Amino acid sequence: MLDGLQEILFTLRQNKLRTLLTAFGVFWGIFMLILLLGAGRGMQNGIWQDFGSEVLDFVIVWTGDTSVPYKGMGVGRQIKLDDSDIEAVKQQVRGIRVISGESNLGTGRISYGTKNADSQIAGIPDDYFRIKEDVPFNFGRKTNPLDTDENRKVVVLGKAVADRLFATGEEAVGKEIRVKDVVMKVVGIFYDKGNRGRNSERVLMPQSTYRQVFGGGPRTDNIWLRPEKGVDPFELEKQVLEVIKRRHDVAPEDKRGVNSFNMAMPAQSVNALFIGITIFIWFVGLGTLTAGIVGISNIMIITVKERTKEIGVRKALGATPFSIVSTLLLESTLVTGIAGYIGLVCGVGLLELVSFGLRKAGVTLPYFLNPEVDFQVAITAILLLVGVGVLAGLAPAVRAARITPIEAMRAE
C-alpha cells in the first residue's frame, strides 16, 4: 500500500502543473458547494431568527367585537373568553398537545427602588411555558405549579424590563419589585426574541396570583394551543374556532369576533422556500463539482493514453490488471480527496471567518446570520469526494486494464 502510494506520488510529481490544475477543479467545486451551503444556512438562520423564540406549530386564538350579525344579534357585540372555553375545546377537539390561557392586564407600572418601567403584565398557567418552550431563561427559573397552587407573588421578567430596572451586572433574581404597587419577587429573567424583541418587554406571573391580585375571575384573553405530532395544525385551528364561535354565537365567517393566528402558515412557506433554496444550492454546487470530475476524468484518460507504453511494460513485468486499476483509482481518489478536503477546510474556514467577522463587528445583516455547515453535510461532502474520485478514475482505469501488453508496448 505504502509502495503503491509512493509510486503514485512519484507519477503525480512528474506532472506537477497538470496535477495542480486538475486538483484545483475539484477544490473549487467543493469550495463553492460548501460556501453556497453555508450561505444558504446563513439565510435560513437569519429568517428563522425573525421568527424569534417561538415554536413553529402554535395557534393563538383571541376575541374582539363581532362584525357579522348572527342569530338575531347585531354587530359590535364584545366576545370574551374564559376557562370554560378552554375546557370545552379540550373536551371537543382531538389532537391537542398543549392548551393554555393567558390573562392580560395591559400596560402597568413596574418599579424597583427609584427605577420605573411601563410594561405589559400577564397572568399565565404553567402550561404556558410548554407553548413558549424555546424561550430561553438566562437567569432564575420559570413559574411552577407550586407558585400557582400557593398563589405566590412571584414574577418572571422579560430581559428588556430587567435591563430598565436593574443596573448592569446587578442580580435581579430574588429581588422584590412593585407590580402596580403590589410587591412581588423576581424568580427568573427570560429573553423572548419574538416580535423583534418586544415580547421581552413583559412581566409574567402565575395566573392564580394574577386573578387573586388583579381580579377578572376566570376570564382569559388569549388561548394558546399546540397540536400533537402528526395532527394537521390547520384542521385543529378550524375545529377550535368552530367550538368557540358556536359557544359564543359568533357567525362562522366572522373574523373579528373570534380571530386566530397559526404559526404553521409562515413556517410552512419558509420551509418550502428553504427546500427550494437547498435544492438549488446542491444543483449548482454539484454542477460545479461535476465540472471538476469531468476534468479529473479527462486528465486520467490523457494520463492513461500517455502512459500506455509504461502500462504495457509494467504488465510484461508482472503487473496484474487489479494492480493497474487500483493504482489509477488510488491516484484519482488521492487527487480528488486531497484537493476536495482542502476545498472543504477552506470553505468551512471562510464561513467561520465571515461569521466571526460579523459577530465581532456587531454587524447584523437582514436575513443573514451565522453562515455554517452541518457536520453531516461535511461528512456527505467527504463521502462524495471519495465516490467522485473513484468515479473519475474508473473509466480510464478499466480502459488501461484492458489494453494487452503487446498493444501497449507498441504505443508511442
The residue (of 12 and 225) whose beta carbon lies closer to other proteins is 12
- The residues pairing with 223 across neighbouring beta strands, listed in sequence order, are 61, 101
CB of 324 to other proteins, least distance (A): 9
Reported as type and span, the H/E element at residue 153 is none
Q: In angstroms, rounded to a whole number, what is the distance separating the alpha carbons of residues 318 and 311?
A: 11
The residue (of 116 and 404) whose beta carbon lies closer to other proteins is 404
The residue (of 167 and 317) whose beta carbon lies closer to other proteins is 317
CB of 336 to other proteins, least distance (A): 23
Report yes or no: 335 and 22 within 8 Å, Cβ to Cβ: yes
- The residues pairing with 177 across neighbouring beta strands, listed in sequence order, are 184
Q: In angstroms, rounded to a whole number, what is the distance separating the alpha carbons of residues 179 and 145?
A: 21
Q: In angstroms, rounded to a whole number, what is the distance separating the alpha carbons of residues 295 and 22?
A: 6
CB of 3 to other proteins, least distance (A): 6
Give the interface with other proteins as residue ranges (CB under 8 A): 3, 7, 10-11, 14, 309-310, 313-323, 401, 404-406, 409
DSSP string, 194-227: TGGGGGGSEEEEEHHHHHHHH--TTEESEEEEEE
The residue (of 188 and 396) whose beta carbon lies closer to other proteins is 396
Report yes or no: 131 and 98 within 8 Å, Cβ to Cβ: yes
The residue (of 146 and 316) whose beta carbon lies closer to other proteins is 316
**Burial category of 15 from C-beta neighbours within 10 Å (exposed 0-12, middle 13-18, buried 19 and up):** middle
CB of 303 to other proteins, least distance (A): 13
CB of 17 to other proteins, least distance (A): 16
Strand 182-190 with 154-158, pairing? parallel
The residue (of 266 and 321) whose beta carbon lies closer to other proteins is 321
The residue (of 339 and 401) whose beta carbon lies closer to other proteins is 401
Q: In angstroms, rounded to a whole number, what is the distance separating the alpha carbons of residues 381 and 14?
A: 29
The residue (of 217 and 318) whose beta carbon lies closer to other proteins is 318
Q: In angstroms, rounded to a whole number, what is the distance separating the alpha carbons of residues 26 and 388?
A: 9
Strand 154-158 with 115-124, pairing? unpaired
CB of 25 to other proteins, least distance (A): 24
For residue 18, count other CB atoms closer than 10 A to its CB.
Answer: 13
The residue (of 20 and 279) whose beta carbon lies closer to other proteins is 20
Q: In angstroms, rounded to a whole number, what is the distance separating the alpha carbons of residues 140 and 143?
A: 10
Reported as type and span, the H/E element at residue 120 is strand 115-124
CB of 35 to other proteins, least distance (A): 38
- The residues pairing with 104 across neighbouring beta strands, listed in sequence order, are 122
The C-alpha R_g of the chain, in whole angstroms, comes to 33
CB of 301 to other proteins, least distance (A): 20
CB of 316 to other proteins, least distance (A): 5
